[in-house]
Amino acid sequence: MAKPQPVRGTHDLLPDDFGAQGAVIDVARRVARAYGYREMATPIFEFTEIFSRSMGETSDVVSKEMYTFQDRGGDSITLRPEYTAAICRSFVSNGLQQSVPFKAFAAGPMFRYERPQKGRQRQFHQIDLEIIGAPEPGADIEVIAAGAEILNQLDVLHKTVLHINTLGDPESRDGYRKALVEYFNDFRDRLSEDSLNRLGRNPLRILDSKDEGDREIVADAPLFQDYLNQHSQDFFAEVLTGLDLLGIGYEVDSRLVRGLDYYTHTAFEFVTDALGAQGAVIAGGRYDGLIEQIGGPSTPGIGWAGGIERLAMLSGVTGQTQRPIVIVPVGEQAETEALKWAHWLRAKGVIVELGFKGNLGKRMKRADRIGASAALIFGDEELARDVMTLKDFSTGEQREVPVGEVLEAVSAFEGALA
């Protein structure tokens, strides 16, 4: 029988990988809390219409990448491909309109059927930050600043460049859309099939095309900045002024767009080339029309998502180093006492490993194999004198410790506390 394997595009998060991803989440959670965001979670699956409405029926994610199935009740269900729509649905479902601005942080798995590649699997993980109910440019500045601070605390901000653009308000967007349709109509015979399909429905998405022929045409397409009304220009200028005030560097990228109509004003990405091909580690924007599109009241919002795998790879973070204390009993009475001591020390926050069998030599070899920092060794003679032998694996030093001082002694070892 062949050895069982995980499904293609998924992988097991073994302790080291899990620790690295946990370290990224811990940093993000700490920064989010400092900015006043409260953590939440949504189910990993939703009714399909939540994502088909929010991401667009013709988007690649909806048409090609979503894990969608019919449940036993006949409902169409989709595994969560992104967090924003799910959080917006939760905002509406739970009647949180009276709690604006609603500031949420979340982290968890997402699912997309796409070609597995470095830093991107079919089950992947994201951190997510959202402000719902704040139409002011200050909200845009804050979410970008929070993202920059997370990257800073992961020591990777210097490896990224913040690309930012404005998509204007609906009036500006409508004018730009018409200009794009007029421009691309002159190249209908050269556009890819996907771009032709988008021309009537969503011409801004042609600007994102990866087709080389399309990219040549896009190079001379009209720029969004030439179609911005005064309100849109002022809004963007205020966002940039705020970033300047905070010392957050950026590059205005006139080709950075979001194809769906509910996106307005600010769009941004923290981009790196330190992982090979250039790619975003945090990306987001303002989505003032999204909540209305999924059936809620007109409510502004802005947020971003960051890839945990990519951030872990970029930062090289590792999880908390655990170096347990090993208890090594010698003799039958000591075995019984070891069980009680292990239970008591664990309750005090000490990481304790208790071998279940083996002589002194075998247990010490196992202690070395698991990277233990120290061993508590005792037999009947030590118990009679109320002492234990404490061995420091880093120095090889052994000394006797009175039982009343054991907790203090073992707590001093690096990595010994949970």
pLDDT for 262 equals 80
Please check whether residue 71 lies inside any domain of the structure: yes
pLDDT for 57 equals 59
Q: Tokens in use for 12?
A: 């097991």
Please check whether residue 177 lies inside any domain of the structure: no
Please check whether residue 282 lies inside any domain of the structure: yes
Residue 83 has pLDDT above 70, yes or no: yes
310 in the same domain as 330: no
Is residue 168 a contact partner of residue 228, using CB atoms and an 8 Å limit? Answer: yes
331 in the same domain as 311: no
Question: What mean pLDDT is predicted for residues 204-228?
Answer: 87
CATH number at residue 84: 3.30.930.10
pLDDT for 379 equals 92
Lowest mean pLDDT among 305-314, 362-371, 380-389: 362-371
Picking from 272, 293, 315, the residue at the C-terminal end of a domain is 315
CATH number at residue 389: 3.40.50.800
Residue 110 has pLDDT above 70, yes or no: yes
166 phi, psi to nearest 5 deg: -115, 140
406 in the same domain as 275: no
Domain that holds residue 44: 15-169+229-315
396 in the same domain as 285: no
DSSP 37-87: -EE----SEEEHHHHHHHH-TTSHIIIII--EEE-TTS-EEEE-S-SHHHH
Which residue did the predictor score with more confidence, 241 or 121? 241
- Find how far residue 238's CA is from the centre of its chain: 28
Please check whether residue 203 lies inside any domain of the structure: no
| Angular region, 247: left φ>0, alpha ψ -120 to 50, beta rest | left
How many domains does the chain divide into? Answer: 2
Of the candidates 319, 321, 306, the residue with the CA atom closest to the CA atom of residue 150: 306
369 in the same domain as 303: no
Distances (CA, A) of 110 to 122, 271, 374: 8, 20, 40
Q: What percent of the chain has pLDDT over 90?
A: 66
Sort strands 374-379 and 76-79 into parallel, antiparallel or unpaired: unpaired
Picking from 259, 289, 315, the residue at the C-terminal end of a domain is 315
pLDDT for 252 equals 96
pLDDT for 60 equals 64
pLDDT for 377 equals 94
349 in the same domain as 291: no
36 in the same domain as 100: yes
pLDDT, tens digit, 9 for 90 and up, residues 126-181: 999 999 999 999 999 999 999 999 999 999 999 999 999 999 998 998 899 899 89
pLDDT for 125 equals 96
Question: What mean pLDDT is predicted for residues 309-325?
Answer: 90
CA–CA gap between residue 259 and residue 237 (Å, rounded): 22
pLDDT for 320 equals 76
Question: What mean pLDDT is predicted for residues 182-187?
Answer: 90
pTM of the complete model: 0.87
pLDDT for 236 equals 97
pLDDT for 313 equals 93
pLDDT for 382 equals 93
235 in the same domain as 154: yes
CB-neighbour burial class of residue 82 (10 A; exposed 0-12, middle 13-18, buried 19+):
middle
In Å, the largest CA–CA distance within the chain is: 95
DSSP 238-259: HHHHHHHHHT---EE-TT----
pLDDT, tens digit, 9 for 90 and up, residues 323-338: 999 999 998 889 899 9
333 in the same domain as 263: no
| Tokens 């796409």, located at residue | 114
Is residue 352 a contact partner of residue 407, using CB atoms and an 8 Å limit? Answer: no
396 in the same domain as 258: no
Residue 115 has pLDDT above 70, yes or no: yes
245 phi, psi to nearest 5 deg: -60, -35
Average pLDDT over the chain, rounded to an integer: 91
Cα torsion through 222, 263, 51, 123, rounded to 10: 80
Picking from 297, 315, 333, the residue at the C-terminal end of a domain is 315
pLDDT, tens digit, 9 for 90 and up, residues 239-271: 999 999 999 999 999 888 886 768 899 999 999
Please check whether residue 159 lies inside any domain of the structure: yes
110 in the same domain as 24: yes
274 in the same domain as 329: no
